[in-house]
Amino acid sequence: LRQGMPEVIFGEGKDAGQIVQIMTAMHATGSNILVTRLSPEKGAEIGTHFPAARYHDEARCLTLAQRPPEMRGRGTILVVSAGTSDIGVAAEALVTARFLGNEAEPLYDVGVSGIHRLLARREMLCSASVIIVVAGMEGALPSVVGGLVDRPVIAVPTSVGYGASFGGIAALLGMLNSCAAGVTVVNIDNGFGAACAASLINRV
Amino acid sequence: LRQGMPEVIFGEGKDAGQIVQIMTAMHATGSNILVTRLSPEKGAEIGTHFPAARYHDEARCLTLAQRPPEMRGRGTILVVSAGTSDIGVAAEALVTARFLGNEAEPLYDVGVSGIHRLLARREMLCSASVIIVVAGMEGALPSVVGGLVDRPVIAVPTSVGYGASFGGIAALLGMLNSCAAGVTVVNIDNGFGAACAASLINRV
Amino acid sequence: LRQGMPEVIFGEGKDAGQIVQIMTAMHATGSNILVTRLSPEKGAEIGTHFPAARYHDEARCLTLAQRPPEMRGRGTILVVSAGTSDIGVAAEALVTARFLGNEAEPLYDVGVSGIHRLLARREMLCSASVIIVVAGMEGALPSVVGGLVDRPVIAVPTSVGYGASFGGIAALLGMLNSCAAGVTVVNIDNGFGAACAASLINRV
Amino acid sequence: LRQGMPEVIFGEGKDAGQIVQIMTAMHATGSNILVTRLSPEKGAEIGTHFPAARYHDEARCLTLAQRPPEMRGRGTILVVSAGTSDIGVAAEALVTARFLGNEAEPLYDVGVSGIHRLLARREMLCSASVIIVVAGMEGALPSVVGGLVDRPVIAVPTSVGYGASFGGIAALLGMLNSCAAGVTVVNIDNGFGAACAASLINRV
Amino acid sequence: LRQGMPEVIFGEGKDAGQIVQIMTAMHATGSNILVTRLSPEKGAEIGTHFPAARYHDEARCLTLAQRPPEMRGRGTILVVSAGTSDIGVAAEALVTARFLGNEAEPLYDVGVSGIHRLLARREMLCSASVIIVVAGMEGALPSVVGGLVDRPVIAVPTSVGYGASFGGIAALLGMLNSCAAGVTVVNIDNGFGAACAASLINRV
Amino acid sequence: LRQGMPEVIFGEGKDAGQIVQIMTAMHATGSNILVTRLSPEKGAEIGTHFPAARYHDEARCLTLAQRPPEMRGRGTILVVSAGTSDIGVAAEALVTARFLGNEAEPLYDVGVSGIHRLLARREMLCSASVIIVVAGMEGALPSVVGGLVDRPVIAVPTSVGYGASFGGIAALLGMLNSCAAGVTVVNIDNGFGAACAASLINRV
Amino acid sequence: LRQGMPEVIFGEGKDAGQIVQIMTAMHATGSNILVTRLSPEKGAEIGTHFPAARYHDEARCLTLAQRPPEMRGRGTILVVSAGTSDIGVAAEALVTARFLGNEAEPLYDVGVSGIHRLLARREMLCSASVIIVVAGMEGALPSVVGGLVDRPVIAVPTSVGYGASFGGIAALLGMLNSCAAGVTVVNIDNGFGAACAASLINRV
Amino acid sequence: LRQGMPEVIFGEGKDAGQIVQIMTAMHATGSNILVTRLSPEKGAEIGTHFPAARYHDEARCLTLAQRPPEMRGRGTILVVSAGTSDIGVAAEALVTARFLGNEAEPLYDVGVSGIHRLLARREMLCSASVIIVVAGMEGALPSVVGGLVDRPVIAVPTSVGYGASFGGIAALLGMLNSCAAGVTVVNIDNGFGAACAASLINRV
Ligand SMILES: Nc1ncnc2c1ncn2[C@@H]1O[C@H](COP(=O)(O)O)[C@@H](O)[C@H]1O
Ligand SMILES: Nc1ncnc2c1ncn2[C@@H]1O[C@H](COP(=O)(O)O)[C@@H](O)[C@H]1O
Ligand SMILES: Nc1ncnc2c1ncn2[C@@H]1O[C@H](COP(=O)(O)O)[C@@H](O)[C@H]1O
Ligand SMILES: Nc1ncnc2c1ncn2[C@@H]1O[C@H](COP(=O)(O)O)[C@@H](O)[C@H]1O
Ligand SMILES: [Mg+2]
Ligand SMILES: [Mg+2]
Ligand SMILES: [Mg+2]
Ligand SMILES: [Mg+2]
Ligand SMILES: [Mg+2]
Ligand SMILES: [Mg+2]
Ligand SMILES: [Mg+2]
Ligand SMILES: [Mg+2]
């Protein structure tokens, strides 16, 4: 990552050999390294070259830390998600946020059709400094969260759904039209980008 | 209206003279009459020919009842809406539901970004037999309502919004992807159609 | 399913092992269980763990009933479909409706380009309490059915077709624009959701 | 019109003066002339220059015939339409078909949600040589007509409707996906083009 | 096929066993049979059951004729196509047209970017009774052909292309907007449907 | 505005009388008031009732401050824009940011096709705490700005442009696909929402 | 215009007073000035301030030349267009090309449905150095021209058309999918941009 | 390729045998041959028949030159690209440009979120005669390049990206809306077509 952050590799479309080669060069400079969008198979293969690397199953990410990340954020980044199938994207955000030197916590399975599970965690919501909200299908969760708290909310639409979800378009449009103030949006499935933005916000 | 219901005229694109002519013929047969999508100006002009007609400002509808509608519904149809600008469509649904012989009540201004206003009316929600939920922008309200109650929910997207709301498409897609069971959807701004369906449901 | 209904598992994207694990927990509480969007292979594998389970080929669903469903509906839910290729979605609706405690019957192969086959079954249509209409391609069937009967019609667009059917969009739009009163719509291929709504309607 | 047909002027976007000028040149060559998409105001103004011209209100067309059109078609072109608001487009097709030298008859107000009105006219349908079917909203009528008869059907989607009709897209897609054999489609609101095609077909 | 034509089976999504079963029933009634959208593998397997069946490679169709088709068309149906990759759809149209009892001829590889190859065949174009024009990418060929001849033109967009061809949408829109009179359009890749329409036209 | 912020009225679609009525009630409680999307004419009419109100021409907003806003932000919010026609949306963001108690500064006319004007202001960019970037047409500016600074960037697409800008969709998509980390996006023309988010970020 | 070209003002959305003010400043520096997208009314008003200015009716442009443009192009830019309604955009290209110091000639009314008019001008096509092709509706003309000549072709889709032309999208897609080599495309109705590109090409 | 250029084969959708057959015929006439969109596997197989052929890995192209291409261009065609994943399309353009007889050079990895890498190569940009700019995601690079130089820029959107990049639509729209003069656009991933246009421009 440019802009003073540690190094990140977009794993999709690169084979394990290519990634190992890039990692070797980065490693030599002492950087911590994050590889996103990585299948378990490629993760395992890379692990044979970098035994210190850690593969994160849910997030489909790999991290290789040569030293603990410098913790620079003001508060905790909370990663909220709705359905089971949104957890992959949420976990990508969580791993990235921590990799970038932030306290970060998950709050999963609090979708809008069972609103009391969300309301029961209101205290946790209110004590976060930034909130990432991950949701597919109708993408309604960021509006509800944004209405409950007085914090920046970064909404991540996911491609979860079928039919008229159109690979995440329904959720994306829902989030762009959020009636709650303070909600901004990133690309479909972009848990990584949401965490980058949250990390910058967390050290404003 | 075919199917045993009273007569309905779609007012848009017809001038007052044409509507008066159609109404005169219908009136002769003893029918109750509803005119939807009618401007106040045309409503006033029609009123000079049918002094017994009543114009409904919010709903932009006119009703002319020769006898009280036969009340055939099992319970109350509740019409829920989110923002101020959705009230026009909600009112069209309300007027239509009553015209078709149902008890019907409004519950307005209970959008998802201020969820407590909705939760405060939970009892009202639970005592309805059918619920029509009208919402624009992100169209999230039907999912929340559907999660709170065990009743059929008819979702009506509205064309309220700007930019990426695309004249109601965002709300429509949100509703079609609702994660709450029991939610069905009608066309954008179709308060009338929602009330027709609710009325049929109310006498199953 | 929340809201007092028996338990339902969305099978797509979960492997047989995961589903068995979830079913085991649910089974322990005495619930009847429905698994939707399940391939025959996974169905067979699950069957080795739950011999009492029944796999429904056309519907690609599995049901596991510990006790007969409580029959609570007022009348019969009729599931109407147009072409051979729509039968999968129709069957999902049929299995779900019965699982949720309703009388439910199929009426297949009555598409609009051979209108007399539909008209020949008019009596069956009129004796239903709710009608689910499943159709792909031009999605015209719900309008015709809605015009013939005085009952709530739930339209289910299917992704059947090619070219300008756009994976069900053509059928979806056709249904949203239905000129028959009382037609509401669910997401593309959502036979399950249509049956949930029909079930709630059937006990209003 | 090229290809041996009489002269046609597309009136939209041209003022009365421009049209009179073009007509004057055409008239000098002895051609019969058709002007489509013409407002009543412009029609009246043109009428002061060409007293023999006839303005067709419903069709918003003007015809100026110096001699009776040569009747060359084999049979009758039938123009079928669904709703009141589709009549303008249907009438454009009717006027054009006659102008091009064909017997042509209207069959209006036979929409699919009241299927018996259509079935009652089956004999008229079967005696036509070519059928133009004009419909907005869900655009289902051509499929039903195509299933009833063994004749070429030209489907004309109209921009009538609101919300998810998207200015005629819903009807267009419905027609392109028609499950009846022998249905072909023209552009939205293109009654003129349908009549040109029907006229060529009528003299194959 | 309903409407008095011989029997047709849509092969896509059916396995060879299912098709053989349907064919066996149809064959017993003496019908000629056409199977469209059939892979060579399934074609070969069916051939082992019906040695008299003929598989058409380019068209990916199979025909089984118990007696020669009744030749009822007035003239020749010409099937014109632009690029090499459009030939599959063109061949489907050609095989269908002949199966339905028409004289039919191909005219391939006459795309608009080499206009002289098309102009060189003008005589062939003018002697046809109906012309089917198959084209992908920009879909311009039907306009040029329609301008050259005074015959009904049925345009078939193909899904050939990449990027902004959007699976045939570019060609479809181009054809719907054709500036030549007498052009009508069928669904993307629907060579079969074009031939059905052409066949009906050929016996008007 | 809920969430502890001063009061805001969305002026579009409300007439001056309605706005005055709402303002009167708010004013009585001592709130500062912002009215957005307000024409100069309505602004002037409101000014006759609230002489202390100030109309902001470029921003088409009106503010009525009973006391200076509590300045709570950590640093300066910078509002960057590309073309002349984006200034309206940028100004809405600027006025809102100040109204919500932030230092805020404009940096206009620094579009990507004249990149040196932007680079010349690098110091200003780097000293901001949050940056709002407003751009229409290709929406490329946020990527360039995001690459230059290590701060949160909120991108606002505008509806400026014609043809394939599709009322801001091109800019919106460009921004959602930004290759610079830390960029989040709001709805088309939503300068107000961008400033709300920036204000929350500025006090994390 | 940056990049060493004379000054250009985009007239749309600016009133005559604003334009006069900008022109006055530009004029003082000795620049030649082009104002595009200017109504005749605004053109007349500007003419009272700059009597030397010339308004181009078809092009809706105004030019003010203090000295003859430096003629720097290698050859002639030919501007080809299809229908009458495309002439406005073609004329904008023509005026701009000349203003930028190029020989430029029109070739209008040579659409693809009357291909012989185009073929008759083949010599003119072949003697151009760059060809701008302006077309609406199906946008087929650039492919035909590109196939006839061995020169760069810049295609300009226009918003002319109705229904499925979608304001120029059909033409735009057609042009992007052109099967002729050497065709590049600009935004819908962007005659100005096509001429800028042609001018740069003409002096490569 | 028509128009006097050497022969080109579009490899996608053709198997190695078919390509060898076409190449054999072309080779006999003495032509140089380019095969685009060719997998390494097919490239290797073809290589066994034509040992003189060269396969270009990045570009996925094969060239077979019987004699050196006639160098006819005036200057150098520069191929600029943004991200790693755009290199395939850029290389297709590079190989094609050289095959067509032009000097051509690459300038890769100069995306807009690290603008200084691009600015550092300004001299190289300014010394080109034509510039092809290849970019995915937000497609902003052509605008920046077009603003820096006074040369024709051909923009090639790539299908690189995910979510709201919609397979290259975001980049395509960004490029069509470029605010820099002199930018024209080709189809998504069409490196070949960009090079054909650049080659024609290079010999104007
Ligand atoms: N999951 C992700 N989603 C979006 N962008 C990513 C992701 N992972 C990495 N990136 C970006 O991709 C860049 C690396 O791309 P590459 O050079 O192709 O490995 C990083 O600097 C990040 O900005
Ligand atoms: N607001 C409305 N939205 C949708 N459909 C309506 C509406 N009002 C009336 N209709 C339908 O329009 C029909 C009457 O149309 P018309 O004959 O044009 O007056 C009625 O039978 C209703 O089915
Ligand atoms: N290639 C094709 N494209 C479109 N429709 C077809 C095609 N082949 C057959 N059909 C239609 O599909 C019907 C048979 O469908 P099925 O019962 O599924 O075999 C026939 O009656 C035809 O109307
Ligand atoms: N008709 C036009 N279409 C597209 N861009 C134009 C047009 N006319 C002028 N422009 C561009 O707009 C810029 C001036 O915009 P403005 O500063 O708003 O007057 C010029 O430098 C041109 O690049
Ligand atoms: Mg909030
Ligand atoms: Mg519920
Ligand atoms: Mg009904
Ligand atoms: Mg038929
Ligand atoms: Mg013709
Ligand atoms: Mg940055
Ligand atoms: Mg050429
Ligand atoms: Mg430039």
Specify the length of chain A in residues: 204
Please provide the average confidence, as pLDDT, over all residues in chain D: 93
CA of D164 to the centre of ligand 7 (A): 20
Concatenated DSSP letters for A59-102?
TTEEEE-SSPPP---SSEEEEEE-SGGGHHHHHHHHHHHHHTT-
Residue F80 pLDDT exceeds 90: yes
Residue range B132-151, pLDDT digits in tens: 999 998 889 999 999 999 99
Report pLDDT digits (tens) over B90-121. 999 999 999 999 999 999 999 998 899 999 99
Instruction: Note the pLDDT tens digit of each residue in C93-150.
Output: 999 999 999 999 999 999 998 899 999 999 999 999 999 999 998 899 999 999 999 9
The CA R_g of chain D, rounded to the nearest whole Å, is 17
- Among F99, F55, F97, smallest CA distance to F80 is for F97
If one counts every other C-beta atom within 10 angstroms of the C-beta of residue A71, the result is 10
Which residues in chain E show pLDDT less than 70?
1-5
Question: What is chain C's mean pLDDT, rounded?
Answer: 93
Is B11 a residue whose pLDDT tops 60?
yes
pLDDT digits (tens, 9 = 90+) for F46-73: 999 999 999 999 999 999 998 888 888 9
Q: At what angle do helices E169-176 and G169-176 cross, to 10 degrees?
A: 130
Residues in chain H where the model's pLDDT stays below 50: 1-4
| CB-based contact F186:A185 (threshold 8 Å) | yes
**A2: pLDDT strictly greater than 70:** no
Q: Percent of chain E beyond pLDDT 90? A: 85
Let me know if C57 is exposed, middle or buried by CB neighbors in 10 A (0-12, 13-18, 19+).
exposed
- Tell me how far the alpha carbon of residue C84 lies from the centroid of ligand 5, in angstroms: 50
DSSP characters for F9-61? EE-TT--HHHHHHHHHHHHHTT--EEEES--HHHHHHHHHH-TT-EEETTTTE
Number of other residues whose CB lies within 10 A of the CB of residue A63:
21
Share of chain G residues as helix, strand and coil, in percent rounded to the nearest 5: 40, 20, 40
DSSP symbol at F159? -
Under 8 Å CB-to-CB from H30, ≥6 apart: which residues? Answer: H66, H67
CA max distance for chain G: 50
- Cα–Cα distance between F67 and F31 in angstroms, integer? 8
Quick one: pLDDT at residue F160?
A: 84
Measure CA A145 to chain center: 17
Residue G84 burial by Cβ neighbours in a 10 Å radius (0-12, 13-18, 19+)? middle
Residue F5's pLDDT band, with cuts at 50, 70 and 90, is: low
pLDDT score recorded for residue C71 = 86
Closest CA to D142 of H129, E184, G95: E184
Distances from the Cα of F64 to the Cα of A153, C124, F23, F32, angstroms: 28, 66, 9, 6
The tokens of D118 are what?
């259509």
- Cα distance between the two ends of chain A: 19
> With 50 as the cut, is the pLDDT of residue C23 above it?
yes
The residues with which C10 forms a beta bridge, in sequence order, are C36
> For E13-16, which contacts have Cβ atoms below 8 Å and span 24 or more sequence positions?
E13/C85, E15/E42, E16/E41, E16/E42, E16/E45, E16/E46
Nearest to A138 among B82, B148, B178 (CB): B178
Report which of F130, F195, D40 is spatially closest to residue A182, judged by C-alpha positions.
F195
**Three-state SS at E115:** helix
Q: How far is the CA of G182 from the centre of ligand 11 (A)?
A: 6
Sign of CA dihedral G23, G26, G32, G33: negative
Q: What pLDDT sits at residue B160?
A: 84
Beta bridge partners of A77: A104, A130
pLDDT score of A196: 97
Assess whether chains E and B touch, using the rule of 3 or more C-beta pairs within 8 angstroms: no
Interface of H with E (CB under 8 A): 2, 12-13, 157, 159, 167-169, 172, 187-190
pLDDT at D76 over 70: yes
Compute, in degrees rounded to 10, the torsion defined by CA atoms D11, D16, D22, D27: 100
Question: What DSSP string runs through H64-127?
Answer: E-SSPPP---SSEEEEEE-SGGGHHHHHHHHHHHHHTT-EEEEE-S--GGGHHHHHTTHHHHHT
Task: Name the residue in chain E with its Cα closest to that of D195.
Answer: E182
What is residue H10's three-state secondary structure?
Answer: strand
Residues with Cβ within 8 Å of residue H60, at least 6 apart in sequence: H36, H37, H38, H39, H40, H43, H88, H91, H92
Reply yes or no on whether the pLDDT at G94 is more than 90.
Answer: yes
pLDDT of res. H161 = 87
Question: Per-residue pLDDT averaged across B177-192, rounded?
Answer: 95
Structure confidence by residue, pLDDT tens digits, D100-120: 999 999 999 999 988 999 999
Task: Calculate what percentage of chain C has a pLDDT beyond 70.
Answer: 98
CA distance B133 to B77: 11
H2, E85: Cβ pair inside 8 Å? no
Give E148's contacts in chain G (Cβ within 8 Å): 115
Does position G176 have pLDDT exceeding 80, yes or no?
Answer: yes
H or E element, residue E92: helix E87-99
Closest CA to H55 of H17, H92, H102: H92
pLDDT digits (tens, 9 = 90+) for F137-190: 888 999 999 999 999 999 999 998 889 999 999 999 999 999 898 999 999 999
What digits encode the pLDDT tens for the residues E30-77? 999 999 999 999 999 999 999 999 999 999 999 999 988 888 899 999
Nearest CA to E111 among E119, E123, E100, E101?
A: E119
Asked if H173 and F169 come within 8 Å (Cβ–Cβ), the reply is yes
- How do residues D123-141 score in pLDDT, each as one tens digit? 999 999 999 999 998 899 9
* Min Cα separation E187/chain C (Å): 6
Structure-model confidence comparison of residues G26 and B1, the more confident one: G26
Cβ-Cβ contacts under 8 Å between A and F: the total is 94
Tokens representing A51 are 């035994």
Query: Percentages helix, strand, coil for chain A, rounded to the nearest 5?
Result: 40, 20, 40
CB-neighbour burial class of residue H116 (10 A; exposed 0-12, middle 13-18, buried 19+): exposed
Check whether A27 has a pLDDT greater than 70: yes
Q: What percent of chain D lies above the pLDDT cut of 90?
A: 85
Instruction: Report pLDDT for C2.
Output: 39
Q: Which residues surround ligand 12, an ion (CB under 5 A)?
A: G 3; H 146, 182
Angle at H137 between CA H133 and CA H140, to 5 degrees: 50
Mean pLDDT over residues G157-168, rounded? 92
Closest to E99 (Cα-Cα) out of E78, E71, E76, E127: E71
Residue H182 near residue H151, CB atoms below 8 Å: yes
| Residue of E8, E18, E188 with the most ligand 3 atoms within 8 Å of its CB, for mutation | E8
In this complex, whether C and E touch, counting 3 or more CB pairs under 8 angstroms, is: yes
Determine the pLDDT at residue D5: 55
In which band, very low, low, confident or very high, does the pLDDT at F84 lie, cut at 50, 70 and 90?
Answer: confident
**For residue A85, what pLDDT is reported?**
85
Q: Which residues contact B90 (CB under 8 A, 6 or more apart)?
A: B79, B80, B81, B106, B108, B132, B134, B156, B191
Locate D36 and state its tokens.
């489509």
Chains H and F touch (3+ CB pairs under 8 A): yes
Do the Cβ atoms of C23 and C48 come closer than 8 Å?
A: no
Taking the C-alpha atoms of residue C48 and residue C135, their distance in angstroms, rounded to an integer, is 35
Best residue for ligand 4 mutational test, from G38, G94, G192 (most atoms within 8 Å of Cβ)? G192
Identity of the residue in C83, C139, C179 whose CB atom sits nearest the CB atom of D113: C179
- In whole angstroms, give the CA distance from residue E199 to residue F16: 65
* Whole-angstrom distance, CA of residue D99 vs CA of residue D185: 21
Asked if residue D198 lies in contact with residue E183, where contact means CB atoms within 8 angstroms, the answer is no
Amino acid at C72: R
Mean pLDDT of chain H: 93
Write out the DSSP string of chain B: --TT--EEEE-TT--HHHHHHHHHHHHHTT--EEEES--HHHHHHHHHH-TT-EEETTTTEEEE-SSPPP---SSEEEEEE-SGGGHHHHHHHHHHHHHTT-EEEEE-S--GGGHHHHHTTHHHHHT-SEEEEEE-TT--HHHHHHHH-SS-EEEEE-----GGGGGGHHHHHHHHT-SSTTEEE--TT-HHHHHHHHHHHTT-
What are the C-alpha distances in Å from G71 to residues D18, G76, H151? 37, 11, 17
Please tell me the distance between residue E113's alpha carbon and the centre of ligand 11 in angstroms: 8
F96: pLDDT confidence band, cut at 50, 70 and 90? Answer: very high
Return the number of other C-beta atoms located less than 10 Å from residue C193's C-beta: 25
Placement of tokens 């009636």 in the chain = A179
Which are the contacts of A157, defined by CB distance < 8 A and separation ≥ 6?
A135, A136, A139, A168, A171, A172, A174, A175, A185, A188, A189, H163
In the predicted structure, residue D64 carries a pLDDT above the cut 90: yes
The number of helices, as runs of H, and strands, as runs of E, in chain G is 8, 9
Q: Is the CB of A1 under 6 A from ligand 1?
A: yes
Inter-chain contacts counted by CB atoms under 8 A, chains E and H: 23
